Amino acid sequence: MLVPVLFGISVLAFMLGMASPGDPVEAILNPDGTQIIDQKEYDIVRERLGLDDPVPVQYVKWLKNALTGELGRSFFTNKEIKEQMAYRLPYTIRLACFGMALTVVFGLLFGILMAMRRDGPVDHALRFLTTLMLSVPGFWLAILLILVFVEKLHLLPTSGLNGFSSYIMPGITVAISTIGVCARLTRTSILDELGKQYVTVASSKGLNARKVTMRHAFRNSLIPITTFLGNYFAGILGGSTIAEVIFNIPGIGNYAISAVKSRDYYVVQAYVLFTALVYVVMTLVIDLLYLVINPKIRAGEKIG
Amino acid sequence: MKRSWKKMTGLFMAAALGVSLMGFTSEAKSTEGAADAAESLNETKEMVLGSVRDMIPGEGDAFYVNLSAQVWEPLVINNNHKLEPGLAESWETNDDCTEWTFHLVENASFTDGVKFDADACMKNIERYKAGPLTSTYTSLSIDKSFPNLKEMVKIDDYTVKFVFSEPITTLDALLGDYGSPMISPNCFDASTGEITSQVVGTGRYIIDEHVQDQYATFVRNEDYWGENPGKLKSYRVNCIPDSETRYSALVSGEIMGLMDNGAIMVDAADKLVKSDDRFVIEPTKSHMTHYLYVNGSKEYLGDVRLRQAISYAIDREQLNETLYAGLCYPAYGALSNQTPLYKDIQGEYNLEKAKELADEVLGGQRLQTTMILGQRVVDGYPVKAMAEYMQAALSEIGIDMTIEVLDNAVTTDRLKAGDYDFNITVTGLNSADPYATLFGWMGTEGGSNVSYHWNYSNPEVDELLSTVLNEKDEQKRAEIYGRLQEISAEELPVISILYYVNVNIHNKEVTGYVSDLFDGVSIPTLEWADESK
């Protein structure tokens, strides 16, 4: 399935770039929109970019290069896209891992606590907190964090990369709403499991509630949580645009947004291909994780 | 499976945190040198500024580094609409303007030790032939800088003659600033035009360190050939693309000042200065001008009387006071007030006259129109508020307007398709030569005039444009350009609104913070304010 999916995505990515409004030649020769373009220069650049070729020819050329790893040069910056992706990916991975870690730690922790203290004060407080967390828009939170930690407390840098401290605010921004979702999903999944017969049996055998929750219910509730976390991780690996732009992390999302702004077709196409690949790989990883989490799947049994 | 899930969960969480922390190497770089009480702050303390863009676009870019960084220098400098010697100390032309001779400075060297002479200059110009070389600033090509160049002749080590197949009267203006970058021949491949290594110039500063899209640091060229070497031993420019973040960086003291186009809205800067006495604004004139494009191909809008009515109905002073804290200048002529040969033309706000003229054209009926605004302009300037003001002002003369804010690309497509009535744009100088702008806007075959459906045509203008192209006498050229600007103010192929200013907001710890023509900051004048601190 991988090949047809990627092929389909490549066609869509290419067509999307072609169909979107705007003229890349204009974007190149008039980058800040303040200049008048010379027609002769316009014609030369258009020809150089191969934009005079019929669209199918352009697609075949692009695909041929993409298959050999040659993603071309950015229309706008004239830099090798492959090199730029390689330069930017580590920043995105760091941010994604940090966001993922916060989500796993706090999302699961809150979810387990809520399930174990169902309908108690802790559950109510955390439910309120997680609702708040998933309701906060990322860009607003980012601005708020900057206001508090930079302008008022002078504890963190506004943007750029100055070691671990530079990732704290972006990490919180990308993780906050996902922590809320993860916690609520964990709570629901564990409570679903706790309502099942095997839990009743385990409890009737004399196992205490904590052991039942952690050893049995939590373990079996991991399938939907893993799916959610896998998709979330794939999402932020594709670049958490808001956080990367506001905090100026030079990651994939930042690259994509400037490419979209400047009609940088090749970069946008490469980005779409990359994110598609990430999703395909992450789906595969999630499937493999299912086998580890629940060996019954290997035996062909139904999940849940 | 008898694993302890509790233990596994703990391990999983610890591993997740561990993974996240992997690779976080210390990227921090101390920005302050070791304090030495005996030395001045300019020599010991690095100044940090904030910019919208990376000061060093790097390899792949025609110029590699922003002109404002003072790493490379051009042959000619456009200093506030006056052309001044750069690496060329003087120049002259023959009678028919087909030969230009440039005398180069004799004591300049690139910071890699290569002498700047006729050979280096010619090799640089050879590079332009591979163009157009693209850039995030502007393109570079032989046709743009040396149109119809037939040959280059080395007269002696410091004199180069350029011979043209067609007369060119304003070569010096075309070579101003980004028109003639000179970099060490070791840094580029003349055949492809590509820059192959970190750029080395003859300028006041040398690139010290660069992290793409993060920051660039520059150190003073201690062997600078010219006058006024930089006062700061080193400075750093952080790239901060987000406007809110830039503002916070300034307020928190992380950066000492802002530079670049649209780094901060004028009203935001004004409010900050009024609420926080650590900051100050030093407004300096910019080459950016606000214009109102009018689609002359639409019914009624092609009538010069209605365009005049629109111009009379716009109270530029009020716009300036309301949106720009009175810092900008009302504009009536077509050219930026930073263009050489700019003519100061005054107009007026006269609602009665506007109503009278509009009534003549519209005959009492109301005209339904659409104003389109590009997102880029909306993000950088308060043009949405300006459009809303115009919406109210023009309704007084019978023009109803709806405002649409669009993606830039869509805006350009709509302009080209003629699918608009009005558009506010903010445009800068193409070069120091006013011809390109005036021909593009006023010539019957002019680029913007045709592309954006202004439908402006005046035989006198075409004649003047044709004449000025071959006019060798500078005084006569000035007269022709003056007349063209007068016509533009009368017939309004495009309606000028305001001449923008660079707000140059900065912390009071810094002084000498004035802008250069291209909205950067004049680095040579920059220094710490209080040497005793």
B417 touches A: beta carbon within 8 Å: no
Substitution target from A100, A237, A248 for chain B, most B beta carbons within 10 A: A248
Q: Which helix (H) or strand (E) holds B339?
A: none
- Strands (DSSP E) found in B197-282: 205-211, 215-220, 234-239, 258-259, 279-281
The verdict on A274 and A238 lying in the same domain is: yes
- A166 contacts on B by Cβ (under 8 Å): 27
Buried (b) or exposed (e) across A123-142, using 16+ Cβ within 10 A?
A: beebbeebeebbeeebbebb
Question: 3-class SS at B107?
Answer: coil
B144 touches A: beta carbon within 8 Å: yes
Phi and psi dihedrals of B400, rounded to 5?
A: -95, 140
Is A74 inside any structural domain? no
Substitution target from B24, B177, B279, B426 for chain A, most A beta carbons within 10 A: B24
Cite the DSSP H helix spans in chain A. 2-19, 24-29, 39-48, 55-67, 81-102, 108-116, 121-135, 138-145, 165-194, 197-204, 209-211, 218-237, 241-246, 252-261, 265-293
What's the number of domains chain A is made of?
2
Q: Which helix (H) or strand (E) holds B103?
A: strand B99-104
A76 touches B: beta carbon within 8 Å: yes
Residue identified by tokens 């075949």 is A60
Buried (b) or exposed (e) across A6-23, using 16+ Cβ within 10 A?
A: beebbeebbeebeeeebb
- B19 contacts on A by Cβ (under 8 Å): 97, 100-101
The verdict on A126 and A257 lying in the same domain is: yes
8 Å CB contact between A274 and A218: no
pLDDT at B23: 40
Chain B residues 78-137 with CB within 8 Å of chain A: 131-132, 134-137
| Helices B5-21/A81-102 angle, 10° precision | 140
Is A169 inside any structural domain? yes
**Which of A36, A39, A151 minimises the CB distance to B251?**
A151
- B57 contacts on A by Cβ (under 8 Å): 77
Q: What is the pLDDT of residues A247-281, one digit of tens each?
A: 888 889 889 888 887 777 788 888 888 888 888 88
Could you tell me the two tokens for A28? 């190149």
Q: What is the pLDDT of residues B173-227, one digit of tens each?
A: 889 888 999 999 999 998 888 899 999 999 999 999 999 989 999 999 999 998 8
CATH of the domain at A141: 1.10.3720.10
d(CA A9, CA B192): 35
Is A281 inside any structural domain? yes
Query: CA B507 → CA B10, B169, B223, B230, distances in Å?
Result: 49, 44, 30, 19
**Chain B nearest C-alpha distance from A30 (Å):** 7
C-alpha neighbours within 13 Å on the C-beta side of residue B243: 13
Q: How many CB pairs under 8 A join A and B?
A: 192
| CB pair distance less than 8 Å for A33 and B249 | no
pLDDT at B366: 93
Question: 3-class SS at B215?
Answer: strand
8 Å CB contact between B399 and B369: yes
Query: CA A278 → CA A7, A115, A117, A237, distances in Å?
Result: 14, 32, 37, 7
Q: Does A234 score more than 90 pLDDT? A: no
| CB pair distance less than 8 Å for A105 and B13 | yes
The verdict on A101 and A188 lying in the same domain is: yes
Rg (C-alpha) for chain A, rounded Å, is 24
Query: CA B178 → CA A224, B137, B167, B325, distances in Å?
Result: 58, 9, 22, 32
Q: What is the pLDDT of residues B271-313, one digit of tens each?
A: 898 899 999 888 887 878 999 999 999 989 999 999 999 999 9
Domain finish residue from A33, A67, A101: A67
Long-range contacts of A213-217 (CB under 8 A, 24+ apart): A213/A112, A213/A115, A213/A116, A214/A112, A214/B5, A214/B6, A214/B9, A215/B5, A215/B6, A217/A115, A217/A190, A217/A193
| CB pair distance less than 8 Å for A248 and B214 | yes
> Residue A60 belongs to what domain range?
2-67
- A263 contacts on B by Cβ (under 8 Å): 409
The verdict on A19 and A91 lying in the same domain is: no
The verdict on A160 and A239 lying in the same domain is: yes
Is A79 inside any structural domain? no
**Chain B nearest C-alpha distance from A144 (Å):** 11
**Chain B nearest C-alpha distance from A204 (Å):** 20
Report strand pairing: B422-427 vs B284-294.
antiparallel
| CB pair distance less than 8 Å for A37 and B412 | no
**Chain A nearest C-alpha distance from B260 (Å):** 11
- B239 contacts on A by Cβ (under 8 Å): 160, 248
Phi and psi dihedrals of A28, rounded to 5?
A: -75, -45
d(CA B327, CA B283): 7
A19 touches B: beta carbon within 8 Å: no
The verdict on A93 and A191 lying in the same domain is: yes
pLDDT at B16: 44
A167 touches B: beta carbon within 8 Å: yes
8 Å CB contact between A248 and B51: no
Chain B residues 341-380 with CB within 8 Å of chain A: 374, 376-377
Nearest to A162 by CA among B206, B211, B259: B211
d(CA B377, CA A76): 19
Q: Does A233 score more than 80 pLDDT? A: yes
Nearest to B236 by CA among B219, B212, B260, B222: B219
The verdict on A57 and A93 lying in the same domain is: no
d(CA B478, CA B473): 9
pLDDT at B292: 95
- A98 contacts on B by Cβ (under 8 Å): 20-21
Residue of A nearest to B428 (CA): A34
Could you tell me the two tokens for B533? 């601190």
| CB pair distance less than 8 Å for B138 and A35 | yes
The verdict on A28 and A136 lying in the same domain is: no
d(CA A78, CA B133): 9
pLDDT at B87: 95
Chain B residues 271-290 with CB within 8 Å of chain A: 288
pLDDT at A302: 53
Cite the DSSP H helix spans in B401-473. 408-417, 434-442, 447-451, 459-470
pTM over 0.90: no
Task: Report which residue type is found at B532.
Answer: S
Could you tell me the two tokens for B440? 């593009």
pLDDT at B431: 64
Is A267 inside any structural domain? yes
Q: State chain A's maximal CA–CA distance in angstroms.
A: 86
| CB pair distance less than 8 Å for B134 and A38 | no
A131 touches B: beta carbon within 8 Å: no
| CB pair distance less than 8 Å for A35 and B427 | yes
Is A122 inside any structural domain? yes
Please give, one letter per residue, the 3-state secondary structure of B55-102.
CCCCCCCCCCCCHHHCCCEECEEEECCEEEECCEEEEEECCCCCEEEE
Could you tell me the two tokens for A282? 């992450």
pLDDT at A36: 64
Is A80 inside any structural domain? no
- B217 contacts on A by Cβ (under 8 Å): none
d(CA A285, CA A287): 5
pLDDT at A152: 86
The verdict on A146 and A228 lying in the same domain is: yes
Domain finish residue from A20, A35, A67: A67
Q: What is the pLDDT of residues A96-108, one digit of tens each?
A: 899 999 999 999 9
Nearest to B512 by CA among B212, B145, B115, B230: B230
d(CA B415, CA B408): 10
pLDDT at B157: 93
- B251 contacts on A by Cβ (under 8 Å): 151
Question: 3-class SS at B403?
Answer: strand
B215 touches A: beta carbon within 8 Å: yes
Chain A residues 174-213 with CB within 8 Å of chain B: none
d(CA A267, CA B240): 21
Q: What is the pLDDT of residues A58-94, one digit of tens each?
A: 888 888 888 887 888 887 788 889 899 999 999 998 8
| CB pair distance less than 8 Å for A248 and B27 | no
Q: Does A163 score more than 70 pLDDT? A: yes
pLDDT at B136: 79
- B213 contacts on A by Cβ (under 8 Å): 248, 250, 254
Q: How many CB atoms lie within 10 A of CB B508?
A: 13
Residue of B nearest to A140 (CA): B244
8 Å CB contact between B403 and B383: no
- B242 contacts on A by Cβ (under 8 Å): 159, 245-248
Query: CA B15 → CA A103, A226, B8, B105, B450, distances in Å?
Result: 13, 15, 10, 63, 63
Q: Which residues of chain B have pLDDT under 70?
A: 1-39, 80-81, 429-432, 516-520, 531-533
d(CA B348, CA B316): 9
d(CA B366, CA B376): 31
**Chain A nearest C-alpha distance from B370 (Å):** 20
The verdict on A174 and A29 lying in the same domain is: no
Which residues make beta-bridge pairs with B219? B206, B234
8 Å CB contact between B49 and B236: yes
| CB pair distance less than 8 Å for A44 and B9 | no
The verdict on A105 and A37 lying in the same domain is: no
Is A21 inside any structural domain? yes
What's the average model confidence in pLDDT over A42-68? 83
The verdict on A113 and A210 lying in the same domain is: yes
Nearest to B297 by CA among B482, B496, B454: B454
Question: 3-class SS at A41?
Answer: helix
**8-state DSSP, A159:** S
Substitution target from B3, B13, B20, B55 for chain A, most A beta carbons within 10 A: B20
